[in-house]
Amino acid sequence: MRPYPRPINELQRQRKLRAVVARDFNENPLLNEVVATVRKLMDCPTCIISLVDQDEQWFKARDGFSLERTSRDYSLCSHTIMKDEVLVIPDTLSDPRYCNHPVVVNDPHIRFYIGAPITVGGFRVGSLCAIDYESRPAPSGEKLDILQSLARLVSETIESNAAAEGPGDETHSSIAGDARRELLALVSHELKTPLTVILGNASVLEHFLEDQAKRKMVAAIIRSGNHLNHLITQMIQFTDIDAGEILLNEGPWSLSEITRDAMSSIEPIASPRGKTVAFSTDQRPDTLSVDKEQMHIAVSCILMNTLISGGDSISVHLRSDAESVSILVSDNGAQLSPGDIRDALSPFGFVGDLDTRATADLGLNLPMARTIAELHGGDLDVSSQEGQNVYALRLPTWRMVGPDQAPQRTARTGKG
């Protein structure tokens, strides 16, 4: 389980980072002067310019810190790049979002953190941060303004250096990916309008027809149209999520309620197919800070996947441990091979024979659920044993709020 959330535009953010930031550790006098200034300004032992890549953060300049890079799991700056505002953590141990963070409970045992995002080409690629190994009060507003001004100076310096070096290379795969998203979005939206007209007129026609045979024909048109409408809506949702064009509207929501609501929405589809869906949960409260609508979509996508390709007995169970809160969806369908799992998690992938599938599907259910989980700092894992396939949507415990918060781990109060 990752100890950090994933920005909505993560793929594009990483591409911009690699395109404009030279990945070297040669000293830059101006950036070295910036970190020295911030260290004095905040009266902290450590100041860093951190750039957050896919799996690690690396330091363009640093004062009071010996490492050139660390794993992204050890990056509080991964939280800074989620917003435009300065992130201030006066005491990491007293903050439930960070008290169990690896860099807090392990070396170097950070207790105080303040970071201003570094923005390049519209993307937050890193942070100008000050660190202490003892808790301390939040800085004054004047100091926060100075920190933001210096972060903008870092951003301008990086962009100026990139312009002097020439534009970065853009791979064929990234261009193809953008073209695919644009085509999907265009086709989806262009199909949506005429289909709405068709469905509206078919519904009116069905109301006025008296001949039962003709009414059945129109009803079949409406059913097929509604199914096509569902597929188009799914394509639009996928392209929006894949392109980073959604913003999480987070709030405290019960995961049980979201899951039950998703189950209710697929019940009319499950019953006619002779499939049962059962729900159970641990007795622990389950209020998490999540986007209710997006989580509903994620759970619904997993359930729809089991309805299409799973067995006739589906169970949903909520479970929590020290690392995560999980929604476990299992079915008694045929065992999935590693190749089946890989295909099911790939956009437009599917399990089984395309020509013999009983239900049309775009193969977007699990990719959408996984992306939404990742946006929340979680993941989606699929496993299969004989007689049971399990889809585990996991969310980090730092998203728990109120009395549901995970217990703190023991951490030392000093540095190393």
CB 76 within 8 Å of CB 98: yes
Does residue 19 share a domain with residue 159?
yes
For the packed helices 255-270 and 292-309, what is the interaxial angle rounded to 10 degrees?
40
- pLDDT of the residue at 414: 36
Q: Comparing 20-34, 64-78, 90-104, 303-317, which segment has the lowest mean pLDDT? A: 20-34
The amino acid occupying position 152 is R
Please indicate, yes or no, if residue 178 is contained in any of the structural domains.
Answer: yes
227 and 341: one domain?
Answer: no
- pLDDT mean across residues, the chain: 81
Tell me what pLDDT residue 238 has. 60
pTM of the full structure? 0.59
- According to DSSP, residue 57 is labeled E
User: Pick the residue with more confidence: 337 or 360?
Assistant: 337
Q: What is the mean pLDDT of residues 324-346?
A: 87
Check whether residue 264 and residue 121 sit in a common domain: no
Strands 276-281 and 313-320: parallel
Say yes or no to pLDDT of 13 above 60. Answer: yes
pLDDT of residue 243: 53
Q: Which ranges constitute the DSSP H helices of 43-140?
A: 77-80, 102-105
Do 218 and 134 share a structural domain?
no
Listing DSSP states for 278-336 in one string gives EEEE-SS--EEEEEHHHHHHHHHHHHHHHHHHS-SEEEEEEEE-SSEEEEEEEE--PPP
**The predicted structure's pLDDT at residue 178:** 53
pLDDT in tens, 170-180: 444 454 455 45
What domain count does the chain have?
Answer: 3
In the chain, what percentage of residues exceed pLDDT 70? 79
The answer to whether position 3 is within a domain reads no
Closest-CA residue to 81 (of 43, 122, 45): 122
Residue 235 CA to its chain's centroid (Å): 18
Q: Do residues 288 and 337 both lie within one domain?
A: yes
Domain check: are 153 and 177 in the same one? no
The per-residue pLDDT for 239 is: 57
**Residue 228 belongs to what domain range?**
172-242
Residue 412 covered by a domain: no
Helix 365-375 and helix 292-309, axial crossing angle in degrees, nearest 10: 150
Alpha-carbon Rg for the chain, nearest whole angstrom, is 25
| Contact indicator for 17, 50 with CB cutoff of 8 Å | no
Residue 409 resides in a domain: no
- Local confidence band at 146 (pLDDT 50, 70, 90 cut-offs): very high
304 plus 356 within the same structural domain: yes
